[in-house]
Amino acid sequence: MVRSTVPGRDMEVDFGELGRFLDDDDLTVKRVWLFSLRLRHSRMVYREIVLDQTLQTFLMGHIHAFEYFNGVPKNCIVDNLKAAVIRSTIDNDEINRAYQDLAEHYGFVISPCLPRTPEHKGGVEGDIKYSKRNFLSWFLETQKAMGIQIPKISDLRKALGVWGREVADVHIIHGVGRSPLELFKSEEEKALQPLPQTRCEITSWSQCIVRRDWRIMLDYAYYSVPYGLIGKAVEVCMTHSLVRIFHDHKEIALHEKATKKWEYKRKAEHAPPFKEAVLQCTRDGLLALAGDIGIFTHRLTEAILSNPTVDKLKPIRHLLKLADKYSKKRLEQACQRAFNCKMYAYSSVKNILEMNLESEPLDPPNREKVISVPFHRFARDPTDYKSAYKNEETSKEKLERQHPVSKHGNAMMGGGQWIIGRSNHGGR
């Protein structure tokens, strides 16, 4: 039975694998897929080369397609891939939460196919086959004719755009007598819903269990939650820049998204009682507390703790307690001044706060106050230190000069002259 189509009503979405191609960035061979979003009435298709089938890629493909068509259809027919449908049910109540947010923002209805029934979206299934048989075969043959065995992904993307404009969009549809581009311009483009004023911010939802250290792990990063939820399940909504954590449909924590692996986003108000005292017992704990106050407090703390021979935990504890008396802002300013002046000591920071010097600018060096010191020279002439004996002398002459020989002999010479004189005098 031929299905009737209505302009601007239905679209179909699917992925199709194209093979392995060379990545221009790291020169490695990667698997490549074709993302296809097809308008059922006009047969116009948005195609995009992608490197994975993740939720982020799936949602961005929809956004790019809507901006390409400059409008949004009313219904989206999709199969049961995990990016769209978590589990197929009669009530369709387990659709991916992020996909629902996208549909709500752009105003379309998600209509999943029944399991194992790809013919329910036969139009986009046919477009995947058409792209492989027509475009991919032509592209690989042209690359092989140029002596390229493994084509580049960038060349594949460029060729797909040219083929779409010059072949796919203008070919005459059998049984209709018009091209997809002609049908789209004349009938379907004006029937699409208008785009919203802002682009949808991609979100991803997941469920996590709060660990014993009152934090969750998500995408190789840690985020703190109130300690009372240890062992409980929470829902996490991650956007491009924020991480929102919910429990019982209430937002319980909000963090900036981590920018590197294994980063820990922590808030002091989430800690259990006496947690601060526990952190003060270790070097890493003190550094974490200092980091909550500010970057210069952390740097000064790290500089003080770098002493290899003396335990500096006690002065750091007193340093951090200054925030209770003077406020975190003033302590951070005082630590900045002490760090810039290279005064790595608790007493220096305390004196700065007591004298209200943390907000005072540092005086630049005044060259007019610099006292010039003349070049040092000896009071006596260096020639006075030279020896009076300018001519070289033998070791024997030097010995006789330093230790004159008496008539009784010399201790250093062993009294040799007395022995010689005796032998000459008596002949005995």
> In DSSP terms, which residues pair with 13 in a beta bridge?
37, 78
Residue 376: burial class (beta carbons within 10 Å; 0-12, 13-18, 19+): exposed
State the pLDDT at residue 167.
Answer: 94
Q: What is the pLDDT of residues 82-112, one digit of tens each?
A: 777 877 777 776 788 889 989 999 999 999 8
Instruction: Name the pLDDT band for 307 (thresholds 50, 70, 90).
Output: confident
Closest C-alpha among 113, 116, 152, 157 to residue 135: 157
Chain-centroid distance of CA 347 in Å reads: 37
Q: Is pLDDT at 427 greater than 50 in this prediction?
A: no
State the pLDDT at residue 70.
Answer: 95
Q: What is the pLDDT of residues 164-183, one digit of tens each?
A: 999 999 999 988 899 999 99
Neighbours of 203 (CB within 10 A): 20
Question: CATH 3.30.420.10: which residues of the chain?
Answer: 10-191
Distance CA 228, CA 59 (A): 35
Q: What is the pLDDT of residues 336-391, one digit of tens each?
A: 999 998 899 999 999 999 999 888 887 766 656 555 555 555 556 655 555 554 55
Q: What is the pLDDT of residues 124-162, one digit of tens each?
A: 999 999 999 999 999 999 999 999 999 999 999 999 999
User: Domain 10-191 falls in which CATH fold?
Assistant: Nucleotidyltransferase; domain 5 (3.30.420)
Query: Is there a contact between 248 and 232 (Cβ–Cβ < 8 Å)?
Result: no
Tokens of 172: 């005459």
Look at the block and give the residue holding tokens 């239905």: 10
Supply angle C-alpha 80, 81, 85, rounded to 5: 60
- pLDDT: which is higher, 280 or 244: 244
State the pLDDT at residue 115.
Answer: 77
Residue 10: burial class (beta carbons within 10 Å; 0-12, 13-18, 19+): buried
Instruction: Name the pLDDT band for 416 (thresholds 50, 70, 90).
Output: very low
Chain-centroid distance of CA 249 in Å reads: 30
Distance CA 45, CA 353 (A): 68
Instruction: Name the pLDDT band for 423 (thresholds 50, 70, 90).
Output: very low
Tokens of 349: 């920071």
Tokens of 201: 């911010």
Distance CA 200, CA 216 (A): 26
Per the document, the length of the chain is: 428
Distance CA 417, CA 410 (A): 9
Neighbours of 285 (CB within 10 A): 16
Overall average pLDDT of the 17-27 stretch: 90
State the pLDDT at residue 407.
Answer: 55
Positions of E strands within 184-278: 204-209, 215-217, 222-224, 233-238, 242-247, 250-256, 264-265
Tokens of 204: 């991803």
Overall average pLDDT of the 285-301 stretch: 89
State the pLDDT at residue 96.
Answer: 85
Overall average pLDDT of the 283-296 stretch: 86
| Range with lowest mean pLDDT among 218-222, 260-264, 411-415 | 411-415
State the pLDDT at residue 280.
Answer: 67
Distance CA 426, CA 372 (A): 79
